Structure 1
Amino acid sequence: MKIAILKERRTQETRVAASPESVKKLIGLGIQVAVEKGAGNGAAFVDAAYKEAGAEIAGDAAAALKDAKLVLKVRGPEAKDAADLPKGSLLAAILDPYRSLEEMKALAEAGVTAFAMDFMPRITRAQSMDVLSSQANLAGYKAVVDAAAEFGRAFPLMMTAAGKVAPAQVLVMGAGVAGLQAIATAKRLGALVSATDVRPAAKEQVESLGGKFVAVEDEEFKQAESAGGYAKEMSDAYKKKQAELIAETIKKMDVVITTALIPGRAAPRLVTTEMVKSMKPGSVVVDLAIDNGGNVEASEAGKVAVKHGVKIIAYHNLPGRLASDTSMLYANNLFNFVALLYDKEKKDLAIDWDDEIVKGTLIAKDGKVVHPALENLEPARKPAAKKAAAPKAAAKKTAAKKTDPDKTEPEKTSAKTAPDSDKQPDTDKTAETGKTGEEQKNGD
């Protein structure tokens, strides 16, 4: 059986789906591995290292894909490139299915069986395959390092003959995988760290790392976590109280790091422009969620922006800024996943389609998008139907206004109270996996 490791084509993606060490382990299973030339350059894995590990170095993607049964990538291909994969082959990659429905459909139409590594179930048996945790861990570390590099002062308390240097005050918003690593890293650098999260269980985790937990701990907060470890969406009244507390806390901070994500939706706004204005000049904000829209209102994607005397860091693909380590961890995640699908005795794939891990990650099979979590999002692909109906609705409203002017004011009131689909929950919870529903995932 042959596995193809392809060079990443997406902008700013420096990672690679295999390390020389993971290639050696795959070959040890009896698998032939072809690595596209230059695939590991961004992660400092040179072709010679792959060749020494036993891989074939293919001159281009087509050569690597020839006769390949399984394709390993970091990011899934764009819709226009899906047909380049061999029909009947399997693909394992970070597919971001919620925001890439057209790409998922293109993979299905190309006859590719696609597995989303970012939909890995959160079960004990799958921990070694959990790509979101492996990548978020280093992202949380890098966020603190980037903040320290931009911050014009030192992080730790220093007592010198010339005077005392006060420790930096750091607030981490979201205590999932990235948030907890950010707390630990900031503490190691000597900062005074606070953190906030909507899950009661996060308080113990934050305090175990030496952080101070910041939250409105009322009765609603105590019931904010479901049996599965998810954070429930809070009431508007709680959100208001929590926002007021966070606003007061941010005024005192030197560094704020935000990590909140919600599956299938834009990242929630946690830090408003008014909060940024209230911070001390020279303070730093790091927005880890910028690739999903950002947690910080004033963020500018892909750059460090200075707003109201505050530096706001919003780099794309933070894990890719530590490509050697994140690629190594991701390659290990993929190796463990491949080992699940592969029969060493038969030296071929032997997939148990009823396995919980397989079912959780399977996105496309037999020409169809099959993951149940994507079914409810299907109508989002067909906005034309709603637009077509709009003129009729407008005509009815116009007619109503002409025949009964007294109905005009109630219509306005109704519009004001209608749900705002663009409004995101005010939560510092980071969500990561293929869960639909109203609960948010525990982790970054």
Structure 2
Amino acid sequence: MKIAVAAESDKAEPRVAGTPETVKKFIGLGAEVAVEPGAGVQSGIPDADYVAAGATVEKDAVKTADIVLRVRRPRADELLDYKRGAIVVSLMDPYGHDAAIAALANSGVTSFAMELMPRITRAQSMDVLSSQANLAGYRAVIDAAAEYGRALPMMMTPAGTVPAAKAFIMGVGVAGLQAIATARRLGAVVTATDVRPAVKEQVQSLGAKFIAVEDEEFKQAETAGGYAKEMSKDYQAKQAALIAEHIKKQDIVITTALIPGRPAPKLVSAEMVASMRPGSVIVDLAVERGGNVEGAKPGEVVTINGVKIVGYLNVPGRLAASSSALYAKNLLTFLESMIDKKEKKLAINWDDEIVKGTLLTRDGKIVHPNFQPKA
């Protein structure tokens, strides 16, 4: 059983799918591990650290690998180097990329999409979306504080008092909860909103105030999988009116709202941006999916009427060392569940809920029901 840790071909991706810690664990499970040269450099891991952990460094590591670990989905031309039947584990970004998923199937690899991990208790330690969103929520507040021209906590000095900044978090999933906690630690006065009633207590437990139109539709606004439902036009209008009034008084706004497989919902209109004070900052964590904020530009910080809108791409990658460590551990836990500890070889249970939930392609076909070509 040979495992390859691939170097990412996208130069904008600084994360890596394996660390010296996970390499040691894989070797302990009976695997031979090869790492492509420079794979971990942008995450602060030199090749020598992998060698010290027991791996080899090989330019063509993926060519002979039974399992290939990556952060991003391999390009069609990269798949030419993969063995037919090789297992590829990565973030596959399958929504809206039919040609790329078809290329995976045509190459004959068995691919697993880590972002499709079922939301069940047993899979929590494999949940890459949560591990990466947690760091993105933290980094969003740090980026906002860096762009904001004032201090966040209240400061009482002989020269006068600096008021505490007001931070508003829109969308209270994993990223939103971490953003609330981080903004609170930095001394901001924090409010938050979400369409899911279950998060109200979580928001309050972190010391923030919950803002929402709490009508009957709001009480039914969560899917069985824990995601937010798409709300009616009437509810959206009521919520927008409440938010518009609230947002005028905020110094920092962080938006995190995403619905899997759909464009990001627009939460902050141009009128709302215009109503904010000059010097205010908005961080849009959904910019890669079209953005929650009108006027946000992917990969840029734009200023509109004195309000900065931060649209950094790959926010977890802005903390590459930390995000790689968590991501690599997610992959280790996922693969560990497929390895026979006594025989020290792969023993995949194709009927396992986690396997079925993440399996994208196998035997030259797209097998995940959500992505099979329409007849």
TM-score by length of 2: 0.98
- CA deviations 1:203-253 (Å, max 9, x no partner) are 111111011101011222122234553433222111100000011111000
Match status 1:56 vs 2:50: no
Q: Which aligned pairs between 1:411-430 and structure 2 lie closer than 5 A?
A: none
Match status 1:284 vs 2:281: yes
Which AA in structure 2 matches 1:309? G
Conserved? CA contact 1:83–1:106, under 8 Å: no
Match status 1:321 vs 2:355: no
Q: Which aligned pairs between 1:118-157 and structure 2 lie closer than 5 A?
A: 118-157=115-154
Corresponding residue number in structure 1 for 2:177? 180
Deviation at 1:275, TM superposition (A): 0.8
Match status 1:224 vs 2:214: no
Corresponding residue number in structure 2 for 1:12? 12
Deviation at 1:124, TM superposition (A): 0.6
Q: Structure 2: how far apart are the matches of 1:271 and 1:11? A: 31
Match of 1:262 among 241, 249, 259: 259
Match of 1:70 among 67, 70, 75: 67
Q: Structure 2: how far apart are the matches of 1:224 and 1:290? A: 23
Q: Structure 2: how far apart are the matches of 1:240 and 1:246? A: 10
Corresponding residue number in structure 1 for 2:43? 43
For residue 194 of structure 1, give the secondary structure of its aligned residue in structure 2: strand
Q: Which aligned pairs between 1:388-403 and structure 2 lie closer than 5 A?
A: none
Corresponding residue number in structure 1 for 2:76? 79
Q: Which aligned pairs between 1:151-166 and structure 2 lie closer than 5 A?
A: 151-166=148-163
Q: Structure 2: how far apart are the matches of 1:230 and 1:162? A: 48
Query: Aligned pairs, how many?
Result: 375
Deviation at 1:104, TM superposition (A): 1.3
Corresponding residue number in structure 2 for 1:23? 23
Which AA in structure 2 matches 1:38? G
Conserved? CA contact 1:79–1:102, under 8 Å: no
| Alignment gaps of 5+ in structure 2 | none
Conserved? CA contact 1:82–1:103, under 8 Å: no
Which AA in structure 2 matches 1:6? A
Corresponding residue number in structure 2 for 1:365? 362
Corresponding residue number in structure 2 for 1:215? 212
Corresponding residue number in structure 1 for 2:32? 32
Q: Structure 2: how far apart are the matches of 1:281 and 1:190? A: 21
Conserved? CA contact 1:4–1:70, under 8 Å: yes
Conserved? CA contact 2:63–2:81, under 8 Å: no
Corresponding residue number in structure 2 for 1:393? none
1:153–1:203 Cα change, 3 Å: same
Q: Structure 2: how far apart are the matches of 1:230 and 1:30? A: 38
Deviation at 1:99, TM superposition (A): 2.9
Corresponding residue number in structure 2 for 1:345? 342
TM-score by length of 1: 0.83
Deviation at 1:291, TM superposition (A): 1.1
Match status 1:297 vs 2:305: no
Corresponding residue number in structure 2 for 1:246? 243
Which AA in structure 1 matches 2:264? A
Q: Which aligned pairs between 1:432-443 and structure 2 lie closer than 5 A?
A: none
Comparing 147-156 and 216-225, the one that deviates more: 216-225
Q: Structure 1: how far apart are the matches of 2:52 and 2:111? A: 30
For residue 54 of structure 1, give the secondary structure of its aligned residue in structure 2: coil
Q: Structure 2: how far apart are the matches of 1:106 and 1:137? A: 31
Conserved? CA contact 2:5–2:39, under 8 Å: yes
Deviation at 1:340, TM superposition (A): 0.9
- CA deviations 1:345-399 (Å, max 9, x no partner) are 2222100000000000000001000101113xx35xx9xxxxxxxxxxxxxxxxx
Q: Structure 2: how far apart are the matches of 1:146 and 1:228? A: 30
Deviation at 1:341, TM superposition (A): 1.2
Instruction: Give the fraction of aligned pairs with identical amino acids, expressed as a percent.
Output: 62
Q: Structure 2: how far apart are the matches of 1:339 and 1:235? A: 43
Conserved? CA contact 1:282–1:310, under 8 Å: yes
Q: Structure 2: how far apart are the matches of 1:264 and 1:304? A: 26
> Which structure's residues are more often helix, by fraction?
1
Q: Structure 2: how far apart are the matches of 1:71 and 1:218? A: 49
Match status 1:336 vs 2:337: no
1:90–1:193 Cα change, 3 Å: same
Deviation at 1:303, TM superposition (A): 1.3
Q: Which has the larger radius of gyration?
A: 1
Which AA in structure 1 matches 2:105? A
Which AA in structure 2 matches 1:50? Y
1:207–1:254 Cα change, 3 Å: same
Corresponding residue number in structure 1 for 2:90? 93
1:291–1:308 Cα change, 3 Å: same
Conserved? CA contact 1:83–1:107, under 8 Å: no
Q: Structure 2: how far apart are the matches of 1:22 and 1:230? A: 31
Deviation at 1:343, TM superposition (A): 1.2
1:317–1:227 Cα change, 3 Å: closer
Corresponding residue number in structure 2 for 1:274? 271
